[in-house]
Chain A
Amino acid sequence: MSTPAEEIKPLAKKKKKTPFNYSPYVRGGKLPHIWCPGCGHGIVLKCLLRAIHTTGLAKDDIAMVSGIGCSSRTPGYVDFNTLHTLHGRALAYATGLKLAKPRLKVIVTTGDGDALAIGGNHFIHACRRNMDMTILVYNNAVYGMTSGQASPTTPQGKISTTSRNGSIEPPFDTCTLAQAAGATFVARGTAYHFQELEKVIYEAIMHKGTSVVDIIDACPTYYGRFNKYKSPTEMMEKIEKEGTVSVKQADKLSPEELAGKLLRGVLHKSDRPEYCSEYQKLMTKVQAK
């Protein structure tokens, strides 16, 4: 026996799924971007744009500064105030721009080589000064743009064009370096863990002070091929998924289980006076004399 029509209650209509609309943030006519098939940088960019959207900041109030390398091509694609500078020097330009116009939200897209090799000096001083800016280190453990040389984060034993028999150098840990230098928000994410990454990038942007996010993403074309990874998928699974562990998970693991894994999540957060605010206070003080 069928139920009379008026007794059938319709199911509550679920909200329709809509994908994120990137168009307002991506400059027209600039895609396809130059990054290789399967390169994590495009995924990181999307996480960054979603995070920016969540902040509600006006596009005019955002400045994106970069150095040289694959990471540093990011600003050209996005509709903000964008500045593509010299290898290793993004943070110096960013420091000048932010101090000249503290109203701007400054986001720096840099790489493991750009920030930690040639840019190492500017990196530690930016962390020390605690000027409000967000430093995103696209960490693929290689110099991708110049075809695959070793970088300061290339793991020992890994192959590159300048370590054809395996690197003998120990790598930097971006996060411990940033924290030691004074950064007040330090986090790590991966392109694989895109939801977590979007969240830490959002927190990094909202944090008032120097925020550093180490982003593990893959270079399938050089690091991947040289070190016998079969596909971008495999790199994501092995390096980003299996090679990292969240801060929460790490609490439950033994030192042996943690060995060789990078920590993911917010690793350090503290409050120190922010540089531009301190400079403002200084100006008020000297002008009152």
Chain B
Amino acid sequence: MAVAEKRIFRIEIDERLCKGCSLCVDFCPTNVLTMDGNLVAVKELDACNGCQLCDNRCPDFAIQVFEE
């Protein structure tokens, strides 16, 4: 039989470090993120697949994705 599992990710955003460049928002392949004023915010956590592209594109050490 087949079992499907949902991987759960936790996105940590350091608001002190985010400069609102929106690179992470623009490059996220599943549209998890959005700009909330001048800071990035999580719009759709369920869509996150843990690819960490947001972290790799972030120049400011402001966003990291952990798997629960």
Contacts from A to B (Cβ < 8 Å): 3, 8, 10-11, 14, 16-20, 22, 26, 31-33, 35-43, 45-46, 194-195, 220, 231-233, 236
Are A38 and B21 in contact, CB atoms less than 8 angstroms apart? yes
A37 to B9, CA, bound (A): 26
Which chain B residue has the least Cβ–Cβ distance from A194?
A: B56
B interface list, Cβ under 8 A from A: 1, 3, 5, 7, 9, 16-17, 19-23, 26-27, 50, 52, 55-61, 64-67
Docked CA distance A40–B58 (Å)? 9
Residue of A nearest to B51 (CB): A17
Q: Is the CB of A8 within 8 A of B3?
A: yes
* Interchain nearest-CB distance for A189 vs B (Å): 13
A33: chain B residues at CB < 8 Å are: 60
Among B55, B60, B64, B67, which residue has its beta carbon within 8 angstroms of that of A16?
A: B67
Chain B residue contacts of A46, Cβ below 8 A: 56, 59, 61
> With A and B bound together, what is the CA distance between A31 and B61 in angstroms?
9
Q: Is the CB of B59 within 8 A of A40?
A: yes
Q: What are the 9 A-B residue pairs with the smallest beta carbon separation, nearest first?
A: A42-B59, A38-B21, A37-B19, A37-B21, A233-B26, A19-B64, A16-B67, A17-B67, A17-B50
User: Contact: B22 with A233, CB < 8 Å?
Assistant: yes
User: Chain B residues with Cβ under 8 A from A43's Cβ?
Assistant: 56-59
A46 to B23, CA, bound (A): 15
For A16, give the chain B residue with the smallest CB separation. B67
Chain B: minimal CB distance from A101 (Å): 30
A233 to B21, CA, bound (A): 9
Q: Which residues of A contact B27 (CB under 8 A)?
A: 233
Q: Which residues of B contact A20 (CB under 8 A)?
A: 55
- From the candidates B3, B23, B60, B65, name the one contacting A10 in the complex (CB within 8 A): B3
9 residue pairs A–B, Cβ–Cβ below 8 Å: A8-B1, A18-B66, A18-B67, A38-B23, A38-B59, A39-B59, A43-B57, A220-B21, A233-B22
Query: CB-CB < 8 A to B5: which residues of A?
Result: 11
In the bound assembly, the distance between CA atoms of A40 and B59 in angstroms comes to 6
CB nearest neighbor in B for A10: B3
For B52, list chain A residues within 8 Å (CB): 17, 19
CB distance from B37 to the nearest CB of A (A): 13
Chain B residues, Cβ within 8 Å of A19: 52, 55, 64-66
| A147–B29 CA distance with the chains assembled, in angstroms | 34
Of B17, B19, B22, which contacts A231 at CB under 8 A? B22
Q: Check B17–A233 contact: CB distance below 8 A.
A: no
Q: Which residues of B contact A35 (CB under 8 A)?
A: 59-60
